[in-house]
Structure 1
Amino acid sequence: MTDKARNEKNLALVRWLTYLMFMMFAMTSDSVGEIIKEVKREFDVSNTQASLMHTLFMIGIAFSGLFLGFLADKFGRKNTIILGLSLFAVSCYLFLVGTSFSFILGLITLSGVAVGVFKTAALALIGDISTSTKQHTGTMNGAEAFFGVGAIIGPLLVAWLVREGVDWKWLYVIAGGLCTLLILMAYKVDYPEYQKPVDSDNNIAKVNNFASSIKLLKNRYAMGFSIGAFLYVAAESAIYVWMPSYLVCDAVNLEDTFACYTSDSQKYLAMYAVSVFFSLRAAGRFVGIWMMQHFNWALVLLIFSFAILVCFVGGLIGGKEVALYLFPLTGIFMSVIYPTFNSKGISCFPKSEHGTVAGVILFFTAAGAAAGPLIMGIVSDAYGGDAKYGFMVATGFAGLLFLGLLYNFIFNPTEKRLAEVEKTEYSNPSASR
């Protein structure tokens, strides 16, 4: 085998390892809805208390992204990935000995911190294995597609465990086992050589620290994509957190939950609407790998964000019977937006800063996932608990997202910056167009 063939095979292994990492942690993060139901029963806690399972996980990711995102740039991708995966595996295995709600919340927070560490390193690694900004976007869509697969597997696995009389905590043990396997794979695989940045005197530049993350908060490229990620995730989380509450009928008992729907197919769709949403989102991301290689990314995001806004408005005006179809359909249109935000935002910077940039965007991502559903819940409660009012807030997020992407398409503020980075950081300048 030639050196070129060996290198290509190794890069393929690194790419698949990255995909599997995304799938593994999605199995736990997107199972939170199913897990919350079991936590409420087991520990006899309120809805607000149980929601901390989601909120603290996101806070852990946000903290890690902002305060620890520089680790991938300072100590290298491989070391940081192994560190993050190790912390995640430990937190997963400790679920077996968790007997109190406060202990479980501590583990949830630790797992969020761990995800932030290895995810920022994995996002930075995608830049190292890409030969153009366009390939970078395609690979990012691939990683998020596998995240989508994990988001489908996790809830189904929790439901199966509960149905078989097995403790829901075994989901984390299974994830910990997969994580241990990934650690061994990461240790064995040769990662692309990471070049630390140097200053004008050819000394290692001291830019990879917490101050680097804070400095990026003043950068228009980092902040533009970060705010976009916040708005997108706030709208997306409205679907998988609050759509079930919006679609249920007014009923006095569980049997009447879907009585307002006229056909069995509608009742079935209402019951599995979140699974349909996740499935469409995952399928859309696999298609997005091809789409981003052949079409103008700014135009695709503009059209898709408009479609999301139409679905939200239509679901509110048409009521439950229309939202039953339009809300899950947003999965197709949401599929490529977040991976592309991540990719283009990170690609506006040198590879030596990719970990730090990824951490900043991840901070705003987690903030959107935590704040969006919370604001929706507060607004809904203020108007008698009707989820419709919360979705008005989500529609506002979707509207702002569309306006931002309209501005991006018309003025294309990143075109010059991406072209500059393409010339200095990637080996195939023509591929970015």
Structure 2
Amino acid sequence: MSPQDIQKQRNLQLIRWLTYLMFMMFAMTSDSVGEIIKEVKREFDVNNTQASLMHSLFMVGIAFSGLFLGFLADKFGRKKTIMLGLALFALSCYLFLVGTSFTFILGLITLSGLAVGIFKTAALALIGDISTSTKEHTGTMNGAEAFFGVGAIIGPLIVAWLIREGVHWTWLYVIAGVLCTLLILMAWKADYPDHSKGQKADEPIDVRRSLKLLGNPYAMGFSIAAFLYVAAESAIYVWMPSYLMCDATTLEATFSCYSEGPEQMLAMYAVSAFFSLRAIGRFVGIWMMQHFNWALVMLMFSFAIMVCFIGGLWGGREVALYMFPLSGIFMSVIYPTINSKGISCFPKHEHGTVAGVILFFTAAGAAAGPLVMGIVSDAFGGDAMYGFIVATGFATFLFIGFLYNFLRNPTETRLAEIEKTEYQN
């Protein structure tokens, strides 16, 4: 192997690790929100709907930048866009050191969402640049989401540890800011592959390209699937802690209705258990998507998710204590495969834009789902059970969508064409 080939392999390895670590880093903050909401409600004396803004505004920021700034990765390149997004995210994290009011914190949450939308669309586009086939693209996407799952485990554990040690939960964001600064240095050192092959010189690369994709059946089909999935998934990590609570008046009474020992421990760390199972499932998913029909896997897993939600509602919190975290195993491969197959339906030079559109619907689902659940719960006296009835509806429609996808296979021809034109060599 020539020195140039060795350097190229090292560079691709650096880029792959940079992508994985970016996903892990922002998952530490985004998927800790369920644990943080419990502290915010006590600290600022806000209701469920107000507290859910901690999650919803973050997702609104991601949605806005995904739809209206997703083209930046195609126009200015992956490297510049990633560094811009990471810099904004680090800034928002460090500003948590001076935030004391609920309104100011919501502003930082929104800014961090905008930043994530910028660097995540570029990172998703970058996965296409370093993949040699649509199948490898799906495997790499599952790898990135596996590291996201690792971050989702670490984040809630850090929050729980900080609270137990008497340290304010905002220090989680400071830790994320330090990691983000290191990632900026990694991005600066990396040499990114060319993404502009096949792009017409006179083709406008701006927000109009994103809006045009809203009329594309492939982009919209996978975007709607992303909306439904994330609305159901975020129900678990945002509202499961509230659903499992026995008494919200004191910290000691929070899980007092469960028997001493394993059940009480599981109730306390249910979110971490969910994310642990999801992370394990995503590593398994990398292998599954290489060996099985992706449409069949998605159909089976979406059905299992629906069963977990129905079982958790039917059996009450005692059954939900097991069924809701268990859904993480089946959620493991859903989102990365939606993302991968949706992006893979388009040429590589459009990957940033289409990733932004799917990300818009992803964030919209993550923002709207928990918010609607909070509103419905408040309307029925604050009981989170009523919100989970809504979430079960999201899971049911997701299953129906994948049933259609399995029976009709609408993307088979399109993916075969892209395989020949974009990944053949």
- Report the TM-score range of the alignment, normalised by the length of the smaller protein: over 0.9
Q: Secondary structure at the match of 2:194?
A: coil
CA distance in 2, matches of 1:256, 1:340: 41
1:200-240 deviations in Å (ceiling 9; x for gaps) = xxxx1323210011100000000000000000011111111
Match of 2:271 in 1: 274
Displacement of 1:289 in angstroms is 1.0
> What is the root-mean-square deviation of aligned Cα atoms in Å?
1.8
Q: Secondary structure at the match of 2:299?
A: helix
Instruction: Answer yes or no: is the 8 Å Cα contact 2:84–2:119 preserved in 1.
Output: yes
Cα distance change, pair 193–156 in 1 and its aligned pair in 2 (3 A): same
CA distance in 2, matches of 1:251, 1:175: 29
When the two structures are superposed, what TM-score results if normalisation uses the length of structure 1?
0.93
Instruction: Answer yes or no: is the 8 Å Cα contact 2:156–2:271 preserved in 1.
Output: no
Cα distance change, pair 255–177 in 1 and its aligned pair in 2 (3 A): closer
Instruction: Tell whether 2:21 aligns with 1:24.
Output: no
Instruction: Answer yes or no: is the 8 Å Cα contact 2:48–2:374 preserved in 1.
Output: no
Displacement of 1:6 in angstroms is 2.6
Instruction: Answer yes or no: is the 8 Å Cα contact 2:56–2:370 preserved in 1.
Output: no
CA distance in 2, matches of 1:105, 1:214: 28
1:23-422 correspondence to structure 2 within 5 Å:
23-195=24-196, 197-199=198-200, 204-249=201-246, 255-262=252-259, 264-422=261-419
Instruction: Answer yes or no: is the 8 Å Cα contact 2:195–2:348 preserved in 1.
Output: no
1:300-337 deviations in Å (ceiling 9; x for gaps) = 00000011111111222222222221111000000000
CA distance in 2, matches of 1:125, 1:103: 33
CA distance in 1, matches of 2:319, 2:401: 27
Deviation larger for 171-180 or 257-266: 257-266
CA distance in 1, matches of 2:283, 2:416: 26
Displacement of 1:241 in angstroms is 1.6
Displacement of 1:89 in angstroms is 1.3
Displacement of 1:86 in angstroms is 1.0
CA distance in 1, matches of 2:162, 2:23: 22
Deviation larger for 276-285 or 312-321: 312-321
CA distance in 2, matches of 1:254, 1:165: 13
Cα distance change, pair 425–330 in 1 and its aligned pair in 2 (3 A): same
CA distance in 1, matches of 2:114, 2:15: 23
CA distance in 2, matches of 1:10, 1:59: 34
Cα distance change, pair 197–321 in 1 and its aligned pair in 2 (3 A): same
CA distance in 2, matches of 1:37, 1:393: 21
Instruction: Answer yes or no: is the 8 Å Cα contact 1:225–1:341 preserved in 2.
Output: yes
1:53-84 deviations in Å (ceiling 9; x for gaps) = 21111110000000000000011111110111
CA distance in 2, matches of 1:251, 1:99: 23
Instruction: Answer yes or no: is the 8 Å Cα contact 1:197–1:205 preserved in 2.
Output: no
Instruction: Answer yes or no: is the 8 Å Cα contact 1:73–1:196 preserved in 2.
Output: no
Structure 2 unaligned regions, length at least 5: none
Match of 1:12 in 2: 13
Q: Secondary structure at the match of 2:167?
A: coil
Identity, % of aligned positions: 80
Cα distance change, pair 258–176 in 1 and its aligned pair in 2 (3 A): closer
2:314 aligned partner, one-letter code: I
Displacement of 1:32 in angstroms is 1.8
Instruction: Answer yes or no: is the 8 Å Cα contact 1:134–1:293 preserved in 2.
Output: yes
1:217 aligned partner, one-letter code: L
1:368 aligned partner, one-letter code: G
Displacement of 1:142 in angstroms is 0.6
Cα distance change, pair 206–161 in 1 and its aligned pair in 2 (3 A): same
1:7-60 deviations in Å (ceiling 9; x for gaps) = 222211110110000111111111223333444444454443333221111110
CA distance in 2, matches of 1:340, 1:217: 20
Cα distance change, pair 251–98 in 1 and its aligned pair in 2 (3 A): closer
Cα distance change, pair 105–16 in 1 and its aligned pair in 2 (3 A): same
Structure 1 stretches of 4+ moved >6 Å = none
Displacement of 1:381 in angstroms is 2.7
1:345 aligned partner, one-letter code: G
Displacement of 1:257 in angstroms is 4.1
